[in-house]
Structure 1
Amino acid sequence: MIRVLVVDDHAIVRQGLEQLLGTAADVELVGSAGDGGRAVELAVELRPDVVLMDLAMPVLDGVQATAQITAELPGTRVIILTSYGDESRIVAALDAGAQGYLLKHTDPDALLDGVRAAHNGGAPLDPRAGRVLLDRRNRAPGVRDLTQRETEVLELVAEGLANKQIARRLGISERTVKAHLTNVFQATGAQDRVQAALWARDHLHPIHPIHPTDG
């Protein structure tokens, strides 16, 4: 039996998912949450096999909640189920540890198959998400590979801020900062923060331009 936790801030969506899961003989709904903070609490308490996770939610968004759940429960698979199909959200969610990314217009049978696939170690991806990742992989590393949030994190790294300071400055969790940095390192080819900072100075607008009179 696949134990599933449903997370969405819209009650009608949660109810629809609960009804759908109830039609599958091999799936058991163990709980539901209306915000990311409650999702983390329930996940730790219930230890579901799969979490169906919305993205835009109060308290913690889906990316932050996913990062915390996958860090705390590495055996739990998180599938993002959202209306958003833009590159920045897809990459942020997968970097946070999501096992799959599906859109809410997904056929009900395909959604159930996605739950089964994630439980078995697969990575269910909406075709749009798959195309985004393929296009991203085929592009040469460069500024265009970085989302706006990743660029902001990189700029603050170049300023010399630690992860905790970056998290406080941007209003995100430290785990999310680490997830963004992982993608920054991959996109720029940097092996550490120093190399990333040097890359930023060569490819981004300087944070603090150095003039000859500065000594």
Structure 2
Amino acid sequence: MDSTYTILIADDHPLFRNALFQSVHMAISGANILEADSITGLFDLLAKEEPDLLLLDLKMPGANGMSGLIQLRCDYPHLPIVVISASEEPAVIAQVKRHGAFGFIPKSSDMRALVNALNQVLEGNMFFPETVADFGSEKNRLAEKIASLTPQQHKVLGMLSDGLLNKQIAYELNVSEATIKAHMTAIFRKLDVKNRTQAVILIQQLESETQ
């Protein structure tokens, strides 16, 4: 495929990032390829560039589970994002889809599969493995609960799972403790839990699917 596409690769593993760089070059002749190895570096690039496609690894410095994808979707709602991940669980793929990604490509994909996926996405078609259709009902319910959180609520839940107290979370997010308590109430309602412990157990279940 000949094009002047600008493709942004965000992955913290140099070897895989280089392999993906070479794969994209082979798939898309003449593409302008940019690279980022952290969430901070990614947002710095996005402040200066307008890529046609972002290839995003879920696990990078500065990202907590789906938080990077959620923040990107919030700040850049029109940017096509394709997650490329070593996690191939249906639960992960379903989460990625629900959080607004345009596609999901397993890192285990061979060159032909990668080229096919990239071509489909650049032609405007979403690309997800068929396994997402077989997503179990229990995991599906958990995915929907987590996906119902706002970006700010997701941040609060992430800090909660890290063991931070309400006042610590309030300090980190530069809001009042009352605001955090309101977020907690909304989070508990959306996740259908009664306390912090139950909420942490749910987020740990989700994170275990992305290992």
Smaller-chain TM-score range?
Answer: 0.5 to 0.7
Residue identity (%): 20
Aligned to 2:140: 145
Aligned to 1:93: 96
1:135 lines up with 2:134 in the alignment: yes
1:46, 1:67 → 2: CA distance? 19
Contact 1:37 1:60 in 2 (8 A): no
1:168 offset after TM fit, Å? 4.1
Aligned to 2:6: 3
Between the two proteins, the alignment pairs up a number of residues equal to: 168
Larger radius of gyration: 1
State the AA in 2 paired with 1:145: N
Aligned to 1:38: 41
Supply the RMSD in Å over aligned alpha carbons: 3.6
**Structure 1 residues 24, 135: CA separation in 2 closer, same or farther (over 3 Å shift)?**
closer
1:18 offset after TM fit, Å? 1.3
TM-score of the two chains, using structure 1 as the length reference = 0.63
TM-score of the two chains, using structure 2 as the length reference = 0.64
Aligned to 1:76: 79
Q: Deviations over 1:65-106 (max 9, x none)?
A: 222223222332111111101233222222222111111121
Unaligned runs of 5+ in 2: 163-185, 197-211
1:35 offset after TM fit, Å? 1.5
Aligned to 2:50: 47
State the AA in 2 paired with 1:20: S
Contact 1:43 1:69 in 2 (8 A): no
Aligned to 1:17: 20
1:62 offset after TM fit, Å? 6.6
2:79, 2:101 → 1: CA distance? 10
Unaligned runs of 5+ in 1: 157-161, 172-192, 209-215
SS of 2:48's partner is helix
1:199, 1:30 → 2: CA distance? 39
> Higher relative contact order by CA 8 Å / sep ≥ 6: 1 or 2?
2
